[in-house]
Copies of this chain bind each other. A is one copy, B any other.
Amino acid sequence: MSSSSNPTRIAIDYALAMADAVGADGGVSEPELAHLEALHARALPAVMTRVDQGELGFLTLADDSNIVAQVREVRATLQPDARDALVLGIGGSSLGARALCEALSAPQLAPGTPERPRLHFPDNSDPWVLSHLLAALDPKATLVLVISKSGGTVETAAQLLVVREWLRAAVGEDGTRTRMVAITDPERGSLRAQARSNRWLSLPIPSNVGGRFSALTGVGMLPLCLAGGDLDGLQQGARAMAKRCSAPSLRDNPAGLLAALGFAHDVLRKHSVHVMMPYADRLRAFAAWYVQLWAESLGKRLDRNGQKVERGPTPLPAVGATDQHAQVQLFMEGPRDKLVTFIRVEQHERDLVIPRSDGSEAYLGGATLGALLDAERLATSEALASDGRPSITLHVERLDASAVGGLVMLYEMATALAGELYGVDAFDQPGVELGKRLAFGLLGREGYAETAAELRARQAARSDRYRC
């Protein structure tokens, strides 16, 4: 890959997703690709118009050097001797930060240091993890980041109430002012109000950036800054990718290709399970981030005309080579309903040479673990293809901040474009409202008594016949 022709140093190889290589049942044909080019020619301007009108903020986040400056300012103001940081947030308020930190910082095997506090992401309302954390950490040496786009996420609000009391008891109200950071909507919501009245530090999530598209705001950037990551490199890679992803021609637009191929394999070939399989442990959290992005954005009951469609591919996370010993049997021999995307890292940092030995493993001697990993990746994609099972491979030269910024932007834009192809709004999540209302009712929140009564009536009407 020459860096002049491809400044993002990320290439997409989709030969094995085409009918040429995997046959007409598993691959997209040239005429179909031509049709997808026509769809892309409508989808791209539709997204760009929303970007230009300020409705969608994600695509230009990396142009905003203020984001980095604000993050660094907050970092500099925080308690300097903290050794741990709790990141309270769920869904888009956790997955993006994790994806960045896991990809771009070394695993923390020892307790944190003031230079690099150890990050914890208790993203659930399960008491298990949080209670162990609060028992183990020293509140005086702990930072607390609270992240919620709306400011009203119930799981995060509940965690905050618990953690705030724990912190206040140890450091007092004043002590929270160098330890607490609220990351939320710049104006609205209960978390913004609390931050103001308690004079906590804060960072904004722009109103036109949804939770699952917020990794490149303070949501992902402050945790990455604490983890010692390269914020400028991240932005630079995302910027370069945003530029590539505005290419009008489908064949030159990596996001357009991921959107079009995902859409075509799902809708035309019934390959509705979209596997994300990086051959890199550092991208496990990236795969989890992708799962939310793809599932929550594209899984929709209604299209944009209000017609019932009940669409959306099912993203499935995997990691190579590990899942060759768990899921690949199914991918190779099960129903032909999967499109696998491999991510290949060309140059592994800290590679290890396999020592020479006698016996049945002699052939491994002198190779590196990275080379073994790459042979497995290539072998798996070719084995799938030999049976007409499609895949795409992203080649990433080095897994540095620029590449990770590029990957994040690539999939955000692919998701926006896929929303256009599917004809759905990729930026809402109406399907979780009913569950929220029922939970509020069960918890006795004012105004939700009716939903609780409804739920209990439905339960009562059921017999206990189906129980074992």
Residue of B with least CB distance to A289: B326
B363, A444: Cβ atoms under 8 Å?
Answer: yes
Contact A337 B444 (CB under 8 A): no
Once the chains bind, are B350 and A296 in contact (CB under 8 Å)? no
A29 at the B interface (CB under 8 A)? no
Q: Is the CB of A372 within 8 A of B443?
A: yes
A198 close to B (CB within 8 Å): no
B329→A314 contact, CB < 8 A: no
Which of A91, A440, A458 has the most C-beta atoms of chain B within 10 angstroms of its own C-beta? A91
A367 at the B interface (CB under 8 A): yes
Q: How many residues of A contact B (CB 8 A)?
A: 152
Q: Do A373 and B125 have beta carbons less than 8 Å apart?
A: yes
CA distance A131 to B391 in the complex (A): 30
Contact A326 B91 (CB under 8 A): yes
Instruction: Name the distance in Å between A116's Cβ and chain B's nearest Cβ.
Output: 14
Say whether, besides A15-B466, A125-B373, A154-B372, A455 and B350 are in contact (CB < 8 Å). Answer: no
18 A/B residue pairs, CB under 8 Å, sorted by A: A12-B467, A14-B468, A124-B322, A125-B369, A126-B281, A126-B373, A127-B373, A161-B361, A161-B365, A162-B353, A162-B354, A164-B355, A193-B359, A194-B359, A299-B331, A300-B329, A379-B441, A379-B442
16 A-B pairs besides A155-B321, A295-B326, A382-B438 with CB distance below 8 A are A15-B464, A91-B322, A91-B324, A126-B279, A127-B350, A127-B373, A272-B335, A295-B330, A296-B326, A299-B331, A299-B332, A324-B432, A363-B440, A363-B443, A379-B436, A382-B458
